Structure 1
Amino acid sequence: MDRANIVHENFLRRVAARDLPPGRAPAGPMTPETAVQAFRAGVLTRALDRQSRAMQRVGQGFYTIGSSGHEGLAAVALALRPTDMAFLHYRDAAFQIARSAQVPGQNPVWDMLLSFASSSDDPISGGRHKVLGSRDLLIPPQTSTIASHLPKAVGAAYSIGAARRHRPEHQILPEDGIVYCSFGDASANHSTAQGAFNTAQWTSYQSVPLPLLFVCEDNGIGISTKTPKGWIEATFSARPGLKYFKADGLDLYDTFRVASEAAAYVRDRKKPAFLHIRTIRLYGHAGADVPTTYLPREEVEAEEANDPLLHSVRLLDQAGVMTPEQALEIYTETNARVVRVADQAITRPRLKTADQVMASIIPPKRDCKPTNGPTPEARAAAFGGDLKAMEDPQIMSRLINWALTDLMLAHPEVVMMGEDVGRKGGVYGVTQKLHQRFGPDRMIDTLLDEQSILGLAIGMAQNGFVPLPEIQFLAYLHNAEDQIRGEAATLPFFSNGQYTNPMVLRIAGLGYQKGFGGHFHNDNSVAVLRDIPGVILAVPSNGADAAMMLRECVRLAREEQRVVVFLEPIALYPMRDLHTDKDGQWMRRYPDPSQVIPLGQVGVTGAGTDLAIVTFGNGVYLSNQALAETESAGIKARIVDTRWLSPLPKDALTEAVKGCKNILIVDETRHSGGVAEALMAHFHEATKANLARLTAEDSFIATGPAYAATMPSSAQIVQAAKGLVK
């Protein structure tokens, strides 16, 4: 027999017989009205869990991971305010249902059943996934089962204090709010979670405001692997900077009391706390999971006998709030109501086409106050003597620095964060002087943890900021790429565009650094960034383009709420010369702040029709070096700078190579999985030109004299061009 039906029959039988589990008497500040609210939320949670399984059996429901055993989280929700942003564990239906009662106009039964049915009418995901979440309830949807939502919860909590100092235009979190973040005991062990705890402690230790309430729902098991008894308390009860609270989630009164104390501590002191709640897991991990296949039946039955709803019936009876007979009536009526509503929910439309599924990958545009750029007075105060230097050609790193300065002057909601971005000014000096110009509130020196850097940015974005996080080297992104794939990029998709993570992620990367760092500091793999739906990837090849593209990237984040990655070629940061020493041909003058290169606009040098060299980043530099020799060989060529690697500007590329008999793709990324594969496919489909590609080898990058041995060179470009044209 299905364990869900066993638990159901046990409840009916035991309540009718007043056979309730023993426990402490009800105590604490919970009012009778609040206690009834919490019980009703728990009963509805249980009814919805059973209905999800019934729907799946007949092919009308598609995901059955449930919240039974975690009904006590309803009491936690009632101890908070509905304006406290909540990043929920996937077993927190009771929390969302209880919060629904705090906000007028909510219908959690209908909303959740639409989600179970994957209906396009589902108000949070539009039928894309069965997720908890609500715009009205300030609950961003979570798809994380490995605690990847914890870093952004830290960022959101940090943003509350930051917003008091610099109020962003699109702020949504109140100044006296807190951020709530829940997870399971198994997820607490994940490196992502540990990084978030450490970041919260590191921040709190320095007395930086961080009103964040972590809640660990400890049911003692992760799928089939048990959490050692006492492990959570032993590891979290004495952490510096993180206040520990403990509650019995089987006792609504105790849970409400302790949660109220924890929330008051966080709200009043602006410091993080860790609330450890004892729960149980009923039915197994999900619908397809049978716990008796890996746990002794006696142990499963003992957990079921400790059903938190049975404890709640006892507590309400002892408090004189509700008799067992009245509780049983609520339970029976709720189950019947859920069945009736489900019969209607399964008739609602579902997504059918690719266009419908993909409609929310790109978030909606938002209204922003018009900006006319920084005033001359503000620029003079910020730049000082640099204004005079703008009259002369400069290297890329300096032009990016000036572009960042102008952007931060124009948009007070722009903040930067990363290792060494502030006082030091970055590893390569790209952010020099910005700390002095804008202060530590907007130039945030973070701890050494890429997941926390990106989590800080994602969380601040949800409170109206436009973050510009920096990852020091492309190779370091791989420590934290799930924060982009699993959190930032998917949020619009799973919230039907209601929640977004606008940001511009700056990364120093690619190869050709002479004798420095090897594969740790030279990484020519961008496949992971190009593979994420909705993410824009920009790669400039010279300083003027970098400044103008960066302005467009910030506009895309600020106005169109996009996730943008701005990949800065490290080797081109200091590049001055093109052909000979001190020729200065790769330096550029700083473009006026009004000038931008819009998304999808490619760059074209030359007008030759024999050959189009299509490339980007360092490849543009190398192709320009090769141009003179190819022309002396009688080949009339043009260079096409792709600039935007994702999405590829296909129409602009097709137009840029029009009339060319041959197309040579020069790609500094790897032969397998590199950008050239997509470019070759596109030009094969869109043109009749002869095609060839010159790529990097499928190799990591060496340190020392062989730093460029595995990547294209100007000599190889000349050779490939001659071979293709002949």
Structure 2
Amino acid sequence: MDRAEIVHQNFLTRVGGNDLPEGRAPAGPLTPEAAVGIFRAGCLSRALDRQSRAMQKAGQGFYTIGSSGHEGMAAVAAALRPSDMAFLHYRDAAFQIARADQVPGQTILWDMALSFAASSEDPISGGRHKVLGSKALNIPPQTSTIASHLPKALGVAYSLGMARRRAPEHQALPEDSIVYCSFGDASANHSTAQGAFNTAGWTSYQSVPLPLLFVCEDNGIGISVKTPKGWIAASFAQRPGIKYFHCDGLDMFETYRVAQEAAEYVRTRRKPAFLHIRTVRLYGHAGADVPTTYMPKSEVEADEANDPLLHSVRLLRDAGAMAPDEALRVYVESCDRVVRVADEAVTRPRLQDAKGVMASLVPPKRACRPSNGPDSAAREAAFGSDLRAMSEPQIMSRLINWAMTDLMLEHPEIALMGEDVGRKGGVYGVTQKLQSRFGPDRVIDTLLDEQSILGLGIGMAHNGFLPIPEIQFLAYLHNAEDQLRGEAATLPFFSNGQYTNPMVVRIAGLGYQKGFGGHFHNDNSLAVLRDIPGLILAIPSNGLDAAKMLRECVRLAREEQRVVVFLEPIALYPMRDLHEAGDGGWMCRYPDPSERIALGEVGQHGEGRDLAIVTFGNGTYLSTKAAQQLEREGISTRVIDLRWISPLPEEALRAALEGVKNVLIVDETRHSGGVAEALMAFCAENLDVPFARETAEDSFIATGPAYAVTMPSDVGIASVAKSLVKGGAK
């Protein structure tokens, strides 16, 4: 007999014999009627756990991580409002069930059964994963077991304070809402969680509104590794800026009272709180996990004896709310009802093909107010003397700054955030003057934590803002990239397009910085960004394109709800000259605010037919230099600037290569895993002409005189191009 069946039989036997665990008498504001509702939610959650295991054994279900032992979370849901956005721990089925009781018209059992069955009719994920979540219940879906949802919960909480000052066009939450975020005791140790706790305390310490309720469900173990006794309390009871609350999740009356107190503190003080709830874990981690293989049987049985549903029956009895025999009847009826509903749910259709699975990778478009461009008077006030300078060619960094200014004038829901973006104006001055133009609430100087920076952006987008977070250097992204891969890009996928977090992430990156930083500040690896389904990656090569592309990136986020990364080549920020000192060949005039470069539109310089050089970023600059030399030697050349790296603009590239005799791919990323690999595949599948590639070495980047020796150069490009044209072989 497995542990799930043992717990089930224990409940039937002990409640039938009125053999209930001892505990405190029921006390607090929870009414008998509400207590019965919480118990019913717990029974339904327990029955679903048991059914999930039966479905898996029958080959009809695919997920068995359950909520048994955490049924007390139903009392927490009862203490909150349905308008409080909830990011749930994966053991919070009882919370979702109890919240459904607060919202008319819900069919929570049917909905969750469809999810267990991976049916395409599952109303939250469309059959893509078994997740807790509901648009009607204000619960964005979560799949993470490592608390990676904490940074974005913090972002939503921050947005509530900002919305009181500047309500966004697509505001989703009432101003008096709070944000709820739950997780396990093991996950509380994860670096992502620790960063979120630190950021919350750091923010609250400065009296910035942050109505966020952290809830730690402490069952004392993470799969097989025990949490040291007292660790959570010792770690969180004295955190600066975060109020600590504690309750026993086995006691629904105490849990409701303390959760109500914590929620009231957060709602009225607009400050974060940490609610520490004692729970037990029943059955082990998941269906295949046998807890007695790593825990003494006596400990497993002790947890089973503390079954929260047994405690609930005692509390209901002592409160005069429900007799044990009636509680037993509710439990048995819940189990029977779940079996009947699940038997029907497994007959419902499932996803059958790649098209169906991928249908929600790209979120739906949304209606937005018409964009009429920035107001002329507002532009004059914001730009001042810079307006006169717009008639003269400028470097890329300045044109990006002006483009962001115009965009922020036009769209008041835009907010910038990142390390040093405000008072300093960024390491390279790209965001200079923006904080003085728009205020510190729209140009936010954050603490040094890339996970929190991205989480702030993701969360603010949940509440209708259009965030533009900045990652200071591409090399700094890698400790936080899961916020893009595992959170931002997966949200529309796992919610069937119902939830989105549109944003434009600005990252300064790539190589060719002379004598500065080595691989800490020069990073030419894009693989982690190109590997994220649904994410758009844009890389400009000059200031004119940068301004126009940034406008398109904002449009894509605002109107099409896309997650966009705008990667700015650091070495080209200050670039003035092209072929010789003083020629000003790489500077551009600022384009009219109405001009933009559409997604998938490539750039082309020259009409040569002997050779096409396909490249991007710094490669465009170097290839343009090389093209002059090649033209002098009689090789007519065109340089094609991809601009859009993911997805690759294949249709436009095919048209741009029409009639050329040879193709050279110049890729400043690495030989292995670089952009050129995809482009070589494109050439092999679409062209009937010789092609070759010139890439960076598989190396990190050095500091000092060797800063560029591992990457393509204009001389090297010209040499490879001449060999290709003369040799004519792939």
TM-score interval for Structure 1 and Structure 2 normalised by the shorter chain: over 0.9
Partner of 1:278: 278
Please give the alpha-carbon distance, in whole angstroms, between the structure 2 residues aligned to 1:212 and 1:69: 25
Give the aligned residue type for 1:106. Answer: Q
CA contact (8 A) 1:514 1:704 kept: yes
* 1:320-719 superposed matches below 5 A: 320-719=320-719
Give secondary structure in 2 for the equivalent of 1:113: helix
Please give the alpha-carbon distance, in whole angstroms, between the structure 2 residues aligned to 1:135 and 1:160: 19
CA contact (8 A) 1:654 1:683 kept: no
Please give the alpha-carbon distance, in whole angstroms, between the structure 2 residues aligned to 1:2 and 1:118: 24
Partner of 2:190: 190
Please give the alpha-carbon distance, in whole angstroms, between the structure 1 residues aligned to 2:642 and 2:690: 19
Give secondary structure in 1 for the equivalent of 2:133: coil
Please give the alpha-carbon distance, in whole angstroms, between the structure 2 residues aligned to 1:325 and 1:657: 79
CA contact (8 A) 1:259 1:275 kept: yes
Partner of 2:87: 87
Please give the alpha-carbon distance, in whole angstroms, between the structure 2 residues aligned to 1:635 and 1:544: 27
Please give the alpha-carbon distance, in whole angstroms, between the structure 1 residues aligned to 2:33 and 2:534: 46
Please give the alpha-carbon distance, in whole angstroms, between the structure 2 residues aligned to 1:140 and 1:164: 22
Give the aligned residue type for 1:359. Answer: A
Give the aligned residue type for 1:718. Answer: A
Please list the CA deviations of residues 300-324 of structure 1 after superposition, one character each: whole Å capped at 9, or x if unmatched: 1111011000000000000000000
Q: Percent identity?
A: 78
Give secondary structure in 2 for the equivalent of 1:141: strand
Runs of 4+ in 1 over 2 A off after TM superposition: none
Give secondary structure in 2 for the equivalent of 1:140: strand
Partner of 1:32: 32
Please list the CA deviations of residues 372-407 of structure 1 after superposition, one character each: whole Å capped at 9, or x if unmatched: 011111110110000000000000000000000000
Please give the alpha-carbon distance, in whole angstroms, between the structure 1 residues aligned to 2:655 and 2:99: 54
Q: How far did residue 627 of structure 1 move?
A: 1.2
CA contact (8 A) 1:154 1:200 kept: yes
Give the aligned residue type for 2:198. Answer: N
Give secondary structure in 2 for the equivalent of 1:651: helix
Q: How far did residue 2 of structure 1 move?
A: 1.2
Please list the CA deviations of residues 531-572 of structure 1 after superposition, one character each: whole Å capped at 9, or x if unmatched: 000000000000000000000000000000000000000000
Give secondary structure in 2 for the equivalent of 1:577: coil
Q: How far did residue 683 of structure 1 move?
A: 1.1
Please list the CA deviations of residues 116-152 of structure 1 after superposition, one character each: whole Å capped at 9, or x if unmatched: 0000000000000000000000000001111100000
Please give the alpha-carbon distance, in whole angstroms, between the structure 1 residues aligned to 2:470 and 2:240: 28
Partner of 1:143: 143
Please list the CA deviations of residues 145-192 of structure 1 after superposition, one character each: whole Å capped at 9, or x if unmatched: 111000001000000000011110000111110000000000000000
Give the aligned residue type for 2:109. Answer: V
Q: How far did residue 298 of structure 1 move?
A: 1.1
Please give the alpha-carbon distance, in whole angstroms, between the structure 2 residues aligned to 1:623 and 1:42: 65
Partner of 2:305: 305
Please list the CA deviations of residues 498-522 of structure 1 after superposition, one character each: whole Å capped at 9, or x if unmatched: 0001000000000000000000000
Give secondary structure in 1 for the equivalent of 2:132: coil
Please give the alpha-carbon distance, in whole angstroms, between the structure 1 residues aligned to 2:336 and 2:628: 81
Please give the alpha-carbon distance, in whole angstroms, between the structure 2 residues aligned to 1:652 and 1:97: 50
Structure 2 stretches lacking a partner, 5+ long: none
- 2:306 matches 1:292: no
Give secondary structure in 2 for the equivalent of 1:282: coil
Please give the alpha-carbon distance, in whole angstroms, between the structure 1 residues aligned to 2:649 and 2:625: 25
Please give the alpha-carbon distance, in whole angstroms, between the structure 1 residues aligned to 2:304 and 2:382: 66
Please give the alpha-carbon distance, in whole angstroms, between the structure 1 residues aligned to 2:714 and 2:240: 56
Give the aligned residue type for 2:212. Answer: L
Please give the alpha-carbon distance, in whole angstroms, between the structure 2 residues aligned to 1:104 and 1:140: 19
Give the aligned residue type for 2:142. Answer: Q
Give the aligned residue type for 1:710. Answer: T
Please give the alpha-carbon distance, in whole angstroms, between the structure 2 residues aligned to 1:194 and 1:699: 32
- 2:227 matches 1:242: no
Q: How far did residue 689 of structure 1 move?
A: 1.2
Please list the CA deviations of residues 209-241 of structure 1 after superposition, one character each: whole Å capped at 9, or x if unmatched: 000000000000000000000000011001110
Give secondary structure in 1 for the equivalent of 2:134: coil
Give secondary structure in 1 for the equivalent of 2:141: coil
Please give the alpha-carbon distance, in whole angstroms, between the structure 2 residues aligned to 1:511 and 1:636: 28
CA contact (8 A) 1:35 1:316 kept: yes
Please give the alpha-carbon distance, in whole angstroms, between the structure 2 residues aligned to 1:718 and 1:306: 75
Q: How far did residue 31 of structure 1 move?
A: 0.5
Please give the alpha-carbon distance, in whole angstroms, between the structure 2 residues aligned to 1:60 and 1:2: 19
Please give the alpha-carbon distance, in whole angstroms, between the structure 2 residues aligned to 1:246 and 1:583: 68
Partner of 2:167: 167
Partner of 2:178: 178
* 1:253-264 superposed matches below 5 A: 253-264=253-264
Please give the alpha-carbon distance, in whole angstroms, between the structure 2 residues aligned to 1:186 and 1:652: 49
Give the aligned residue type for 2:713. Answer: S
Please give the alpha-carbon distance, in whole angstroms, between the structure 2 residues aligned to 1:240 and 1:381: 41
Partner of 2:231: 231
Give the aligned residue type for 2:509. Answer: G
Q: How far did residue 479 of structure 1 move?
A: 1.1
Please give the alpha-carbon distance, in whole angstroms, between the structure 1 residues aligned to 2:537 and 2:592: 23
Partner of 1:125: 125
Give secondary structure in 2 for the equivalent of 1:228: coil
Give the aligned residue type for 1:370. Answer: P
Q: How far did residue 23 of structure 1 move?
A: 0.3
Please list the CA deviations of residues 443-479 of structure 1 after superposition, one character each: whole Å capped at 9, or x if unmatched: 0000000000000000000000000000000000001
Please give the alpha-carbon distance, in whole angstroms, between the structure 2 residues aligned to 1:529 and 1:203: 29
Please give the alpha-carbon distance, in whole angstroms, between the structure 2 residues aligned to 1:367 and 1:699: 46
Please give the alpha-carbon distance, in whole angstroms, between the structure 2 residues aligned to 1:414 and 1:395: 24
Give the aligned residue type for 2:684. Answer: H
Partner of 2:46: 46
Please give the alpha-carbon distance, in whole angstroms, between the structure 2 residues aligned to 1:41 and 1:107: 13
Give secondary structure in 1 for the equivalent of 2:479: coil
Q: How far did residue 632 of structure 1 move?
A: 1.4
Please give the alpha-carbon distance, in whole angstroms, between the structure 2 residues aligned to 1:63 and 1:263: 32
Structure 1 stretches lacking a partner, 5+ long: none
Please give the alpha-carbon distance, in whole angstroms, between the structure 2 residues aligned to 1:196 and 1:629: 53
The two structures have a TM-score, normalised by structure 1, of 1.00
Give the aligned residue type for 2:508. Answer: A
Please give the alpha-carbon distance, in whole angstroms, between the structure 2 residues aligned to 1:655 and 1:2: 63
Q: How far did residue 433 of structure 1 move?
A: 0.5
Give the aligned residue type for 1:658. Answer: E
Q: How far did residue 633 of structure 1 move?
A: 1.3
Please give the alpha-carbon distance, in whole angstroms, between the structure 2 residues aligned to 1:84 and 1:578: 55
Partner of 2:201: 201
Give the aligned residue type for 2:386. Answer: D
Give secondary structure in 1 for the equivalent of 2:556: helix
Give the aligned residue type for 2:17. Answer: A
Please give the alpha-carbon distance, in whole angstroms, between the structure 1 residues aligned to 2:303 and 2:382: 65
Q: How far did residue 32 of structure 1 move?
A: 1.0
Please give the alpha-carbon distance, in whole angstroms, between the structure 2 residues aligned to 1:33 and 1:157: 32
Give secondary structure in 2 for the equivalent of 1:54: helix
Partner of 1:98: 98
Q: How far did residue 699 of structure 1 move?
A: 0.3
Please list the CA deviations of residues 629-682 of structure 1 after superposition, one character each: whole Å capped at 9, or x if unmatched: 101111011000000000000011111011011000000000000000000100
